[in-house]
Amino acid sequence: MPEAPPDDLPALRVEHVDVTYGRAVSALRDVSLTVPHDSVVALLGANGAGKTTLLRALSGTLRLYRGAISAGRVRYGGTVLDGRDPVAAVQAGVVQVPEGRRVFTGLTVDENLRSGGLGLSRRGSAQVAEARDRVFTLFPRLAERRRQAAGLLSGGEQQMLAIGRALMAAPRLLLLDEPSLGLAPLMVDRIAEVVREIHAQGTAVLLVEQNAGMALSLADHAHVLETGEVRLSGPAAALAGTDAVRRLYLGEEGAA
Amino acid sequence: MTGLLDDLLGGLALGAVYALVALGFVVIFKASGVLNFAHGSLLLLGGYLTAVLHDDIGFAGALAVGVLATALLAGVIDRLLLRRGDPDPHTAHVQTIVTIGVDIVLLTDLSRRIGGDLLVLGDPWGDAVTRVGPVTVADSRLAAIAVSAGAIAVVFGLFRYTRWGLSLRAAGEDLEAAALMGVRLSRVRTLAWCLAGALAALAAVFLAAFPAPGLERTTGQIALKAFPAAILGGMASPAGALAGSLLIGLTEALVAGHQSELRLLGEGFGDVVPYAVMVLVLLVRPTGLFGTKGAARV
């Protein structure tokens, strides 16, 4: 099998990253992890462990919170992402779906999807239509409601719209921040299916979750963050078997 | 009866011009969270440039220069005075206060130049009137209505159909989510300031045209009446600003038309009316006519 050049199959490499807020509060210390081009990687951790901070560091939105990467490197393929703005991440193919969905509630479903393509330089309407058709195939529900205000969708539908909006930017790596948050169990299963589908279509996924059971069932690799540091790393199946993870994140009281 | 029609047409013309100013407030607020207190001075600058240039390069050319220069200055204020680099959502209130300072500087300089003069803008309508059935209307008012309606239609078209408009509406709702989509917040914001400046300069023409005597150093203060119009419309809603402006324009004209009957309320009540209307609307709808906290299902 011929080796493909590294640029065609880029990986996200986070190398020894420190993040501080307001030049004082240290939120991440010496975090390193890799998301290979064809993988689903899960990032677990309790509230305040630094999961969302890491995503902000990747997508370039730390600045909105007065935060900065104070040491280390973030690279996607050949592109350096640390110190860059969100436009750079989107154009490199790294697109984040924010926690809590954050769809534009006053805009229609269609306009929300159009907004997903704003980061790319002018695209032909044919390309936009093609991207939208892909989203509608994945989420037929959105096609039915395309002229409705996004604020009138249910929570599950909004999560689908948030994912669909990100897919409009044709990402090669999708950053998902707590997609199952606040959703009914059936809808969580549906989201898991969608993540599998997106991965099958060739997009790598970094999945941040508190629902460790769901995340570990989807992921190849997983990392556990604790108070700003990577505590555990390894294949998802192996992590799911460790006592610490079972006790802390899978809620199995009996596991000793 | 003709008196009422007169008042309604006058109010419509006034409201249409207020709408140009109020839309500027709203566009700036949506894009940057800033209340632009320098808006009246920007308006005055646009009018001033048109007034001093129209002798040499004609009204149309002077207006074009006035509109472009005001747009440019608004963009420069945003880029160089209010922020350096990326928009920072945490400092919108500080930037709002900076606009007060900008206003003082601009207004002081323009007042010195204008002095006590009444400047003529050289608009083509002069004091000509058109008779429509029983009603006599000043051409300048018809022009105000037509030009404002055209400009407003263009602005709403920009909101709806362009990438810039979509970016603005997305950023106005959720700055971070828009940033995550790769919206170039800085560029979107500067363009918003430029558009608002251009609209203000355009409004200056009609505020100085007949039946007003001309451009005075206090003309910029009229912009303050568009401020309650924007607020009662919901501040972040262009449609609300339009409705608010028409409401205030019509009320003002009707009150002025019936001043003798309203003597009870005191002389010059017309000047207070925009604020009275604003207070009344906000008592009933605290978020403004079209302002919502977002009709969202959770």
Q: pLDDT tens-digit profile of A229-255?
A: 999 999 998 888 887 777 777 666 544
Nearest residue to A85 (alpha-carbon basis) of B88, B212, B111: B88
- Interchain CB contact of B181 with A (< 8 Å): yes
Q: What is the mean pLDDT of residues B76-92?
A: 84
Residue A145 domain-assigned (yes or no): no
Of residues A122, A152, A169, nearest to B181 (C-beta): A169
Report pLDDT digits (tens) over A104-114: 999 999 999 99
Question: Looking at the predicted structure, is the pLDDT value of residue B177 above 70?
Answer: yes
B74–chain A nearest CA distance, Å:
24
Share of chain A above pLDDT 70, in %: 94
Query: What pLDDT sits at residue A2?
Result: 47
A134 lies in some domain: no
Amino acid occupying residue A215? A
Looking at residue B288, its pLDDT comes to: 83
A98-137 pLDDT, tens digit per residue, is 999 999 999 999 999 999 999 987 777 888 889 999 999 9
- Domain of B140 in residue numbering reads as 2-218
Residue B234 belongs to a domain: no
In this complex, do A105 and B178 lie within 8 Å of one another by their Cβ atoms?
Answer: no
Q: Is the pLDDT of residue B209 over 70?
A: yes
Å between A197 CA and nearest CA of chain B: 22
For residue B295, count CB atoms less than 10 angstroms from its CB and return exposed for 0-12, middle for 13-18, buried for 19 or more. Answer: exposed
For residue A197, is it within any domain? yes
Is residue B292 included in any domain, yes or no? no
User: Residues A181-199: what's their mean pLDDT?
Assistant: 93
The residues, ordered by sequence, that sit 6+ positions from A147 with a Cβ below 8 Å of its Cβ are A108, A109, A110
- A192 lies in some domain: yes
* pLDDT-above-90 percentage for chain B: 60
- Domain assignment present for residue B298? The answer is no
Task: Kindly identify which residue of chain B lies nearest to residue A56, measuring between CA atoms.
Answer: B180
Centroid of chain to Cα A173: 8
Task: Check A153 against B177: CB less than 8 A apart.
Answer: no
Q: In which band, very low, low, confident or very high, does the pLDDT at B1 lie, cut at 50, 70 and 90?
A: low
Examine the pLDDT at B3 and tell me if it is beyond 90.
Answer: no
Distance from CA of A244 to the nearest CA of B (A): 34
- Mutation for testing the B interface, residue in A112, A115, A148, A167 having most B CBs under 10 Å: A115
A144 within a domain of the structure (yes/no): no
In A, minimum Cα distance to B179 occurs at A86
* Range of the structural domain that residue A189 is part of: 27-102+164-248
Residue at A115 is within a domain: no
Radius of gyration of chain A (CA): 18
- Residue B296: inside a domain: no
Helix (H, G, I), strand (E, B) or coil at A92: helix
* Bond before B228 cis per omega within 30 degrees: no
Give the other-Cβ count within 10 Å of B215's Cβ: 28
Query: Per the domain annotation, does B42 fall within a domain?
Result: yes
Asked whether residue A72 is assigned to any structural domain, the reply reads: yes
Res B239 pLDDT > 50: yes
CATH number, residue A212: 3.40.50.300
Please state the domain count of chain A: 1
Q: Is the pLDDT of residue A36 over 80?
A: yes
pLDDT at B298 over 60: no
CB neighbour list of residue B121: distance below 8 Å, 6 or more residues apart? B47, B50, B51, B54, B59, B62, B204, B205, B208, B209, B214, B215
CA distances from B176 to A22, A121, A132, A226 (A): 18, 20, 23, 25
In a domain, A65, yes or no: yes
